[in-house]
Amino acid sequence: MEGRSKSLFAIATDIADGFVIVNPLFLKKFKEKELKELHEALIKKERQIRAEPFPFNDALKIRQRNMKLQRLTQAMVIIKNFMEGRI
């Protein structure tokens, strides 16, 4: 995507935080190489979230953590299917 103002890791962070919704219209802006790099950035962000200490006694933080992981997983599935031409 020419003229992109954000790094792919920053986009992955925005996806995890819920600021960006991944759908086929969003993905059309990216070239195939950039989609692969975005997928890798999503995997790195997922590892980063899983590496954080688990908040055992804080239900709100557990919910926020799980929502971030869910958004990342959903985005990875959508990207994979988009790259394979299913969407």
Tell me the per-residue pLDDT of 26-51, one tens digit each, with 9 for 90 and over.
Answer: 999 999 999 999 999 999 999 999 99
The tokens for 12 are 């992955």
Which is nearest to 27 in space by CA: 18, 36, 40?
A: 36
- Give the model's confidence band at 3: pLDDT under 50 very low, under 70 low, under 90 confident, else very high: low
Per-residue confidence (pLDDT) for residue 75, from 0 to 100:
97
pTM across the whole model: 0.89
